Amino acid sequence: MADRGIRLVVKVGTSTLTDKSGRIDRAFIADMAASLSAQLEAGSEVLVVTSGAIRAGRERLEASFSQRSYLNRSQPSDFQTTLPFKQASAAIGQGLLIHTYSEAFAWRGVDCAQILLTRDDLADRKRFLNARNTLLALLTLGVVPIINENDTVAVDEIKFGDNDMLAALVAALVEADMLLILSDVEGLYQKLPSEESSDHTAIPIACVPIITEEIESLAGISKSGVGTGGMRTKVEAAKVATEAGIKTVIARGRRLHVIEDVMAGLEIGTTFLPRNDSERLPARKRWIAHNARPKGEVIVNLCAKAKLVEESVSLLAVGLIAVNGSFVSGDLIEVKDENGEIFARGLSNYASSEVQRVLGLKSEQLEQALGYRGFEEIIHRDNLVIDR
């Protein structure tokens, strides 16, 4: 890095942030702030993606409930399991959490800034660029952005799903050099260690050159993309980050000197190597692949799919057999094959009503069908991302 040190994104989850009693561990946050402040002193830039707002809010509410018994009587018995309660907890806890981080970094003479994001903030291209500009300005000022999902308004339709993915998208947004995911396990294992098992010899995979289907299966990711477990989201995040050319490390957050050792290049946890320059997606295609939200879909025949996958060509009307959803020109749409498998996504040159009128037509027939001269392609190859 000629002009700066390493640009590092650190993700820390609730399970790592909490102590054995399930409360936010402020001593751990203080130690982490000390380690990250040392990296700043060494010339690196640091961003933190943190969970814990809901947990911090619950702590404060539990204390209030114990002091004001009338609060317990005023709520339904299952109220604390509802989404509004979780959002209210986040609203209370977010201020407490950023206060904890700000105090911890202030002891080292470092300023923090709170950034709350939703999926829609990164799905909209203008807001995406605004978020990027803000984060880069904070880094220029030597400020540490403390980033979390905006749980006070996030619902299923706009949630990132997990702060692991948020961290990967933020890392790609600011073109970080490294993403460090602090976990409650040592890394990605060939075989998960079990408390019930007598086998205590399991060790994490040291290095993953490329994330294959075999690696995904170790994390519980099926071919259909359906899976469960904390490691699943971490490997999915690593895939997004490495596609953007970002080295990714999963390591146990409670390991002594974990940040210092990872930054020193020691073999800690599992390292996922970044794609090389010829393989990584350019910035615009990264946004199409991971941030934008699809508004509809088109279905292509198998011949068109083969050409798109093997030859990296534009999507033409002649290969289309169906269109679903309602979208306008410039919207993101998914591309499916005849078997219903999504294998690409891209920005449509035409509205769904127009695509419906040109299904199966050759490019020279589009003007007559539409009544005006438009684009030859439904999706230009520069705005098309193939799922590999």
DSSP E strand boundaries for the chain: 7-12, 45-50, 112-117, 144-149, 178-183, 207-208, 247-252, 270-272, 296-300, 320-325, 332-336, 342-347, 384-386
Closest CA to 316 of 239, 378, 373, 382: 378
Q: How far is residue 67's CA from residue 74's CA, in Å, rounded to a whole number?
A: 14
CB 121 within 8 A of CB 127: yes
pLDDT of residue 1: 39
pLDDT band at 225 (very low <50, low <70, confident <90, very high): very low
Closest CA to 354 of 379, 388, 385: 379
**φ/ψ of residue 360, rounded to 5:** 80, 0
pLDDT, one tens digit per residue, over 56-89 is 888 888 776 666 665 555 565 566 667 778 888 8
CB 134 within 8 A of CB 115: yes
pTM higher than 0.75: yes
Q: Is 214 exposed, middle or buried (0-12, 13-18, 19+ CB in 10 A)?
A: exposed
pLDDT, one tens digit per residue, over 133-173 is 999 999 999 999 999 988 777 665 546 667 899 999 999 99
**φ/ψ of residue 124, rounded to 5:** -85, 125
- The residue type at 235: V
